[in-house]
Amino acid sequence: MAEENFSVVRVERITAATVQKNERHNERKNESYANLNVYVERIPLNVHYKDTGGLTYNEYFQKLIDEGKISTRGQKEGAIRFNEMVVDVNTRYFEERGGYEYARQFYEEAYRFACGIYGEDNIVSAVMHADEINKAVSEELGKPVYHYHLHIVAIPTVRKEIRWSKRCRDEALRGTVKEVINQVSHSKKWKNTVPVLDENGQQVINQYGKPVFRKSYSVLQDQLFEHMTAAGFRGFERGELGSTAENLSSLDFQIEKDKERLAQTKQKVKEAKKELAEVSGKVKVKHKVSATYAEIDALGSKGITGKYTVSKQELDSLKALAKEGVSSRSEIHGLERSVSYYRNKAMDLSARLSNVKERLAEVTEKYELLVEITKPYLLVLQRFPEKVKAFFETLFPQKERAEEREQPKSARKRKSRDDWER
């Protein structure tokens, strides 16, 4: 491979209070986007492998609760309710294999992989974005090239056995399984369970005498790579956690990429100017066959009849000068065209350099404004975390109480009876 392609999968933890931000971005409900490369006219090309049927993410979550498919039993207020899994491969990987149609097939298989992780009922939304342009690759290839990637919002659940307590009146039931629920739990879903082995195949023990396990997200990278290659998708490597593209926010990442393009454009301008200087210098080079005006005027001699005659040496010189003139005229014409080409190229690159500088300044200004706006909040959060938490709890209490009121009465009665039996 001329350029290595890597698959990357990452998982974000989302609460009921923060999921609207992800929903607006994924479903393209915003009027503007932090990612400045979104082309609104291409939004219809985004592909949904799963949608909510018109419900919001929170409404879909509540629907599964009402149908008894998931349970929030044991969850604390403000707990993680959603995961967003983002699957991504280098832009060039798809461009070299058919672009849009190949990406559709690839991410449809990645969606099947996610169904195996979460269960299809627990997938809230799965959408491939095809509306974000990769400006660096587009500039290099001289045509619009789009970056295809997959957003999957899912509910992390684990099967949990609810057992009869020791206080149950029926001794035969005590300790037996009363019911099995799909409990919403991010921590249990992504618990590290794969041991780290040493060269002898023995589990590694840390300095505190505890066994060491592989990070669950690292295992997820392996699973995605193995699943996709088994399905026939080749030509990429397993991604590395902690890469710049993976961990930087969309705005930070765009700033970094714009800085890279700025440096590349500056280098191209420098090279173009160097080529222009070299070509200009060639135009000024004196040719090997040359003569002064006086020397040319002195050629030939006038006889007594008034006719001019030239010697063989003079004739050869005239022929050489004529040939050199024809050759030089053609060469000079070609060099002048080259000078014109490189001059235009330098001007074009200078204009692009100016555009990149303006764009970088614009993005940097937005980033600095964002930092400035959030600085007081971050300072307060750092100094008074408990007070900030209490403040936000006063902002969103009614919604939680409303969810409790919407719980079926039969469920509340059953809970009371269960407590009595225990």
Adjacent-strand bridge partners of 279: none
The pLDDT, as a whole number, for residue 40 is: 87
DSSP 79-129: -EEEEEEEEEE-HHHHHTTTTHHHHHHHHHHHHHHHHHHH-GGGEEEEEEE
DSSP 189-211: HT---SBPB-TTSPBPB-TTSPB
CA 99, CA 79: separation in Å to the nearest integer?
39
The pLDDT, as a whole number, for residue 111 is: 97
Which token pair is 241?
């956690």
The pLDDT, as a whole number, for residue 8 is: 87
The pLDDT, as a whole number, for residue 250 is: 45
Pick the closest to residue 147 from 112, 98, 100, 107 (CA basis).
100
Which token pair is 108?
């449809």
CA 129, CA 46: separation in Å to the nearest integer?
5
Quick check: 8 and 87 in contact, CB under 8 A?
yes
CA 101, CA 223: separation in Å to the nearest integer?
24
Pick the closest to residue 152 from 131, 125, 132 (CA basis).
125
CA 302, CA 398: separation in Å to the nearest integer?
117
The pLDDT, as a whole number, for residue 302 is: 60
Under DSSP, the state recorded for 30 is -
Quick check: 19 and 82 in contact, CB under 8 A?
yes
Q: How many CB atoms lie within 10 A of CB 267?
A: 11
Instruction: Give CB contacts under 8 A, 24+ apart, made by 241-245.
Output: 241/10, 241/215, 241/217, 243/6, 243/8, 245/8, 245/88
Quick check: 145 and 75 in contact, CB under 8 A?
no
Kindly compute the dihedral angle of the four CA atoms of residues 353, 358, 359, 362, in this order, to the nearest 10 degrees. Answer: 160
Which token pair is 175?
């300790």
The pLDDT, as a whole number, for residue 415 is: 44
CA 89, CA 110: separation in Å to the nearest integer?
11
Question: Whose structure tokens read 């879909």?
Answer: 60
CATH number of this structure's domain 6-244: 3.30.930.30
Sorted by sequence, the CB contacts under 8 Å of residue 85 that are 6+ apart come out as: 9, 10, 11, 114, 117, 151, 152, 153, 154
- Give pLDDT < 70 ranges for the chain: 1-3, 32-36, 239-262, 265-266, 269, 273, 275-276, 278-310, 326-327, 330-331, 333-334, 338, 340-341, 344-345, 347-348, 350-352, 354-355, 358-359, 361-362, 396-422
Which secondary structure element, helix H or strand E, spans residue 221, and what is its range? helix 216-230
For helices 57-66 and 19-26, what crossing angle results, to 10°?
A: 110
The three-state DSSP-derived secondary structure of 368-414 is: HHHHHHHHHHHHHHHHCHHHHHHHHHHHCHHHHHHHHHHCCHHHHHH
The amino acid that residue 23 corresponds to is E
Residue spans of the domains in the chain: they are 6-244
CA 9, CA 100: separation in Å to the nearest integer?
20
Pick the closest to residue 62 from 51, 53, 72, 73 (CA basis).
72
The pLDDT, as a whole number, for residue 244 is: 38
Q: Determine if residue 68 is left, alpha or beta; phi over 0 gives left, psi from -120 to 50 gives alpha, anything else beta.
A: left
Question: Whose structure tokens read 């707990």?
Answer: 79
Question: Whose structure tokens read 């609207």?
Answer: 20
What burial class does residue 350 get, using C-beta atoms within 10 Å of its C-beta: 0-12 exposed, 13-18 middle, 19+ buried?
middle
The pLDDT, as a whole number, for residue 255 is: 54
Quick check: 154 and 83 in contact, CB under 8 A?
yes
Query: What phi and psi, each to the nearest 5 degrees, are found at residue 303?
Result: -85, 180
The pLDDT, as a whole number, for residue 292 is: 62
